[in-house]
Structure 1
């Protein structure tokens, strides 16, 4: 696939990783950080950063597109599949959508099936740990969705 065919209409390719956030970058104490899964699940869970990192690790190349008009191509993301995390909570059959909550107060919603098929919780990009302004400790990556669905500083869903 050609590079240009991977770029959505009216987007430009950038080499740097722009920083966009609604409420600035939160300061997160990793010792106190928790990821909570609740709602339409059989079992509500709360995971530490170490528990998330102990799940099977995956690396995936995926382009990154922002609704503000820029794209980055070929980034390699490292983390865990969302489906592996969600399986620990066992979603109920009636669960169809997910609301993702972030430490800065941001929320975004996603179709559960899309999230299970392609979602990742990542802690590194291109072999480097995520910088705080890009979502450390965990950022949600959903490759076929624009960046406003790729929530930074995840804390629960």
Structure 2
């Protein structure tokens, strides 16, 4: 099975790319909220996150700047498990992810529900360092890395697509590396995405 998406170059390094200053958030001060269109809004401390069922994943990591690093080892909590606890409302179709420091990115709810999308607190067996998004970052390995928001603090479920920081500046609204969805060309098909019962299907 091919592991390198089109247009990508393999690297053994693990570059760090951050726009703006790195926020400094201690494990004691970190809080995460799952909010918006959920029946049971959820708030977690770092210790509460560690007390939940954990998953270890090894996944490839693809940056929109055209480098890929294979076999990156993470540990954390499945976002799908948190969503099951929060119980998304029927009209929820997308999410806006917010980070400490002001960064945002958007995702479809169906992407958040994948089994390998996690809130990651450990990288290669060590606590996630600040420069990598510690104490906790979102990991969405099937999309370009800008969707894996560092220093994550909130996921808000919405009934529409609300573009995040890089998406408003011209990056693709979804960011699938296998389709080379780097930059948006033409209209945004999902920008008009509104409530549609998930029971109805596409």
TM-score by length of 1: 0.93
Q: How does 1:32-47 map to 2 (within 5 A)?
A: 32-47=29-44
Q: How does 1:61-80 map to 2 (within 5 A)?
A: 61-80=58-77
CA root-mean-square deviation: 1.1
For 1:97, the equivalent position in structure 2 comes to 94
For 2:108, the equivalent position in structure 1 comes to 111
Unaligned regions of 5+ residues in structure 2, if any?
A: 156-202
Unaligned regions of 5+ residues in structure 1, if any?
A: none
Q: How does 1:1-157 map to 2 (within 5 A)?
A: 1=1, 5-117=2-114, 118-157=116-155
Contact between 2:26 and 2:135, CA under 8 Å: does it hold in 1?
no
Contact between 2:138 and 2:148, CA under 8 Å: does it hold in 1?
yes
Contact between 2:121 and 2:137, CA under 8 Å: does it hold in 1?
yes
Q: Which has the larger radius of gyration?
A: 2
2:146 alignment partner, SS class = helix
Shift of 1:29: 2.4
- Using the alignment, how far apart are the partners of 1:137 and 1:29 within structure 2? 7
Shift of 1:138: 0.9
Q: Write out the 4+ residue segments of structure 1 that deviate beyond 6 Å after TM superposition.
A: none
- Spell out, residue by residue over 1:33-63, the C-alpha distance to the aligned partner (whole angstroms, 9 max, x if none): 1101111011222110111111111011110
1:25 alignment partner, SS class = coil
- Using the alignment, how far apart are the partners of 2:40 and 2:128 within structure 1? 30
- Spell out, residue by residue over 1:55-107, the C-alpha distance to the aligned partner (whole angstroms, 9 max, x if none): 11101111000001100001111111001122222111111101100002111
2:36 alignment partner, SS class = coil
